[in-house]
Amino acid sequence: MSKITAAITAVGGYVPENRLTNFDLEKIIETSDEWIKTRTGISERRILKEAGTATSDLGVPAVLDLLAKKNLDPKEIDCIICATVTPDMFFPSTANIISDRIGATNAFGYDLSAACSGFLFALTTGASYIESGRYKKVIVMGADKMSSILDYTERNNCIIFGDGAAAVLLEPSLDGYGVQDSILKSDGAGKNYLHIKAGGSLRPATIETVLAKEHYIFQEGKTVFKYAVSGMADVSAELLERNQLTGDDINWLVPHQANLRIIDATAKRMGLPIEKVMINISRYGNTTAATIPLCLWDWQDQLKKGDNLVLAAFGGGFTWGATLVKWGY
C-alpha cells in the first residue's frame, strides 16, 4: 500500500480592512516611515479595531474562504488546529470557538502556542493525523490579533506587528504530495528576550500589572534579531541538506515575515534568488502565526502542482523550524 502523505488542498485567508500605515504611526509615536521601512521592510499593517472583536473574528472568515473554495461542508472537517498567541480567551480554545461559529460540529480542535513558529508546528501536527490514516480533513490555521497585546505608546514593538489569519486544508495523498519533512526546534532560554510578563499563572492580572503595562509584548529586539537570523537560516539549510536538495530544487521559500533583513539572510543561505521568495511584510507586518499561510494565500494562483516549497519560521520561545512541502494542486 502507498504511503499516505498530507497534501495542502486549499488555502483561505483574511485580513481586516483597516490599514495602519507608517505615516499614521508617525502621528502617535516618535518614528518615521523611512526608519520603519529601512529597519523592517514594513509600510503598513491591518488592524482589527472594532470593539468586541477577537482572533476568532479573523479566523472565521479565513476558514469560510477556504470552505467556499472547496465547496466543503463544515461537517466533513475532522479537526481544526489554531496556532495563536492571542486566543479569544485562555479557554475554551479559539479553535473550538471557530468550529462552533462555522458549524464544524464533527471536528475536534485545540489551540497551539508556538508564537511565530506556531503555523509550522501545527502543520506538522496536523500532517501526522493525516499520515496516520485516521483522519481525512484537517484544517491548520494561524490567527493572531497582535494589536490586542501591543502598547501603541512604545515604538519598539507596535511598528512591527499586525492582525490576520489564514488556514490550509490537509487531505491524504497517495501520490506523495504535501508535507515531506520538517525540522522543529525550541529553546526555552529564549523566554527572557520575548514574552508577556503578566496574565499567566506566574503573575496573574492585578491593578499593578496593568499599570506597569505588563500585559503587552516585551521584546529585546536586537537579541531576537540575532537569534532569528541564524536560527531561520540554519534550519532551512539543514532541511535542504537532509533531503539532498539545493536552492535550485526549490521553487519557493515561504518565510515567516518578521523582518526583511531576516528573510534576505535566509534566502542567501539557501542560495535562492529573491524572486523565489514570498514577501508580503510591507503590507501586513508581522502577523505572528498567520504570516506563512497568508503568504500561501497571496501566492496561491502562482503555485503549480509539484512545486517544492520550504516554509521557515523563527519566533518567541524561542521556537523555530522549517518544513518541506510538495504543492498538491
Binding site for ligand COA (CB under 6 A): 31, 35, 39-40, 116, 155-156, 159, 219, 221-222, 224-225, 228, 258-259, 286, 314-315
Which of the following is catalytic: 116, 157, 158, 280? 116
* Residue number with CB closer to ligand COA (115 or 303): 115
First to last CA, the chain: 23
- Contact between 321 and 266 (Cβ < 8 Å): no
Cβ neighbors of 37 (< 8 A, separation 6 or more) are 22, 43, 282
* Residue number with CB closer to ligand COA (126 or 315): 315
Q: Give the residue nearest to ligand COA (CB).
A: 221
Least distance in Å: CB of 34 to ligand COA?
9
> Length of the chain in residues, anyone?
329
Residue 116 appears among annotated catalytic residues? yes
Residue 286 appears among annotated catalytic residues? yes
Cell of 286: 508581522
* Residue number with CB closer to ligand COA (193 or 297): 193
* Residue number with CB closer to ligand COA (9 or 40): 40
Compute, in degrees rounded to 10, the torsion defined by CA atoms 213, 216, 218, 222: -120
Phi, psi of 113 (to 5 degrees): -110, 100
Scan for cell 503595562, then name that residue: 213
Say how far apart CA 13 and CA 62 lie, in whole Å: 4
Q: Which amino acid belongs to residue 159?
A: I
Least distance in Å: CB of 283 to ligand COA?
17
* Residue number with CB closer to ligand COA (98 or 313): 313
Which of the following is catalytic: 79, 82, 96, 256? 256
Cell of 66: 477556504
Sequence-ordered alpha helix ranges (H) in 220-259: 221-242
Residue 256 appears among annotated catalytic residues? yes
Say how far apart CA 115 and CA 195 lie, in whole Å: 10
Catalytic residues: 116, 256, 286
